[in-house]
Amino acid sequence: MKTLLVAQDFPPQGGGMQEYYLNICLNLPPEEVIVAVPKVEGYQEADRKLPFKIYRAPFAVRKAKVFIYSLIWLLQLIWIIKKERISTVQCGVILPIGYLSLILKWITKIKYLIYFHGMDALGARAKAERSRFKKRLLYKIISRSSRLIFNSKYTMKILEGLEIQKDKCEVIYPGVELRFFRRRQPSPEIVKKYNLENKRVILFVGRLVKRKGIDDVLQALPEVIEEIPNLKYLIVGKGEDEARLRKIVEDMGLEKFVEFLGYAPREDLPHLYNASDIFVMISREIESRKSIEGFGIVYLEANACGVPVIGGRSGGIPEAILNGETGLLVEPENIEEISQAILRILKDKPFARKLGENGRQRVEAEFSWDRAGKRVHLVLEKL
């Protein structure tokens, strides 16, 4: 059995979807996996380190939705399927790759499954609501698929209006590299590098986009700082919202307490988690942008390091965080509730320790990539 993953998002790009696909592929037999993705900066070096074969489309990811490039990609995929004797296609996202998967099935009779992560499902539903033609086309893509894999129960619910067949659906949660993300003493080098000595640290890791709720955490900081004056809020990542967030920090006079680290080296991430007292990401739904957190791998990474978490009660986050057991859930944009949740964890060390311990135990039991890979492999074998 050989399977072909076709995706727009794949390392060395960063992000939850990219991590999902990479780790699923790493936990399938390498001789059974082929990947077809667009070119991105730094792909040659990244691809050389992987145990499976990767074909890069002859164009950048931003061009994948342009018709002529999709046609070129389709021809390349037909060639790959024949050359590698592919038996199944894993469709990384319904739009636009679902179109290609449907055409590939017509031409080659090959079976395919589709992954859904949250924002892609919202986008598909929005297109279906605006256009009868798009709704029929999306229904055809879904109905002709052999399996649908969702990253959360919430993501699966998004598509209920498209009359999906429930017996085709499988929820396979993201996982965590348990040997990489684990509890350890904070590295003295990391503490020195990021100036964290004698600090109570709030950590954020992710893309700097509006839905992540970083602005709400900034608004909550003054009340926290009144009681925890040695606070440090570390923001790891980059994105389109960075300039606005920096302006908020400046306007509020929080420069002493907030540090934008940009992209931290991957090997620093476990140490940053372990040097932190709490991980906070108050994601919210932004309907106008069809922007939602389908699950939230970063909550699991923090929990795997024994760090308590706080998240917004939106999207698939309540599946990633067990409220009162592995972290706390708050209403997005409720500044008072956010500040009180942060203070509760920072001031009650036994409670914080218990949340972190519960989080690690839960991740070990339910969220390893080995477990997710085995479930995907079982799905593929049954197609």
Question: Topology of domain 3-175+368-382, per CATH?
Answer: Rossmann fold (3.40.50)
pLDDT tops 90 at residue 230: yes
pLDDT per position as a tens digit, 245-293: 999 999 999 999 999 999 888 889 999 999 999 999 999 988 666 678 9
The answer to whether the CB of 306 falls within 8 A of the CB of 278 is no
- Residue 312: its H or E element: strand 309-312
The rounded distance, in Å, linking the Cα atoms of 8 and 117 is 13
- With tokens 């590295």, the residue in question is 187
Q: Taking Cα atoms as reference points, which of 62, 45, 64 lies closest to residue 54?
A: 45
Per-domain residue ranges for the chain?
3-175+368-382, 188-366
In single-letter form, the type of residue at position 366 comes to: E
pLDDT tops 70 at residue 97: yes
Domain 188-366 annotated CATH 3.40.50.2000: yes
- Residue 140: its H or E element: helix 132-144
- Residue 233: its H or E element: strand 231-236
The rounded distance, in Å, linking the Cα atoms of 163 and 51 is 38
**Number of C-alpha atoms within 13 angstroms, CB side, residue 357?**
6
Q: Once rounded to an integer, what is the mean pLDDT over residues 149-167?
A: 87
Q: Indicate the range of 1-15, 55-69, 321-335 predicted with least confidence.
A: 55-69
Both structure tokens of 240 = 């389109």
Q: 33 - beta bridge partners?
A: 3
pLDDT tops 80 at residue 64: no
pLDDT range class, residue 190, cuts 50, 70, 90: confident
Q: Once rounded to an integer, what is the mean pLDDT over residues 200-221?
A: 96
Q: Indicate the range of 153-162, 230-239, 313-322 predicted with least confidence.
A: 153-162
Q: Indicate the range of 16-20, 109-113, 281-285, 323-327 predicted with least confidence.
A: 16-20
Indicate if 188-366 has the same CATH topology as 3-175+368-382: yes
CA dihedral 356, 362, 364, 367 (to 10 degrees): -120
